[in-house]
Structure 1
Amino acid sequence: MPYDPVIADRLRAALAGVDGVSEKRMFGGVGFMVNGTMAVAASSTGGVMLRSDPDDSGGIIDGVAITGMEMKGRPMKGWLAVLPEAVATDEDLQRIVDHGVTAARSLPSR
């Protein structure tokens, strides 16, 4: 399943005021980098892939619409899977984007 272009456009809008943002197609989706580090992506699974500090993910994970990311059955430390229903409103999406931008900025620039 390809990424959702509507979610990608909403991510672009939510990132419009953020300095250092670039966009790159990858893994069947489209990733949004902040200073070269991916912060958030429109996932090829139809939702959002979100960077998160592994020590600061507890407050955002709900276990249903926002969960730890897995690839091929393996947990991906520092990444969360966000279902479309978790970003249904612009406020919800902005909260997710802000979380990803903060996590990306906490890492060294590439």
Structure 2
Amino acid sequence: MAYSEYVVDRVRRQLKGTGVLEEKKMMGGYLFMVNGKMCIGIDIDKDNQQDRLMVRVGKLNYEELLTKEGSKKMDFTGRPMRGFLYIYPEGFDTEEDLDFWVEKALAFNKLLLQD
């Protein structure tokens, strides 16, 4: 399997009640869309077999969030996608850390709805 059902369930619980939630299997991973916008996903790094989150945080505080533990540029195309981050397990193992990343994704998601 290309993603962890356990991590999917953890994220699903965090997103419950946050808006119109859609779940999709995409690009070998699992994606959560909130109010029609890509918000957060889960996949496995093929190089090291670690679970990782794919978090859409936008460009505003992108550089600051890159300094957080477990955070790396999302670059599955060979070119970093500014505004999107990979978060490795050391950055979301605890519920408090997962809460942090889900809150960042949802905060950006709300900004998208204002456009």
Q: Same fold per TM (> 0.5)?
A: yes
Residue 77 (structure 1) shift: 1.7
Q: Percent identity?
A: 32
Structure 2 match to 1:68? 73
Structure 1 Cα separation of the partners of residues 87 and 9 of structure 2:
16
Structure 1 match to 2:7? 7
Residue 107 (structure 1) shift: 1.4
SS at match of 1:59: helix
Q: Which moved more, 1:94-103 or 1:1-10?
A: 1-10
Structure 2 Cα separation of the partners of residues 10 and 72 of structure 1:
27
Residue 79 (structure 1) shift: 0.4
Gaps spanning 5+ residues in structure 2: where? 46-50
Residue 56 (structure 1) shift: 1.4
1:95 maps to 2:100: yes
Q: Which runs of 4+ in 1 moved over 4 A?
A: none
Residue 55 (structure 1) shift: 1.6
Structure 1 Cα separation of the partners of residues 14 and 24 of structure 2:
16
1:88/1:64 Cα in 2 relative to 1: closer, same or farther (>3 Å)? closer
Relative to the length of structure 1, the TM-score reads: 0.88
Asked if the contact 1:27/1:44 (under 8 Å) is kept, the reply is: no
Structure 1 match to 2:40? 40
Asked if the contact 1:34/1:105 (under 8 Å) is kept, the reply is: no
Structure 2 Cα separation of the partners of residues 76 and 58 of structure 1:
12
Matched pairs, number: 109
Residue 106 (structure 1) shift: 1.4
CA RMSD of aligned residues (A): 1.8
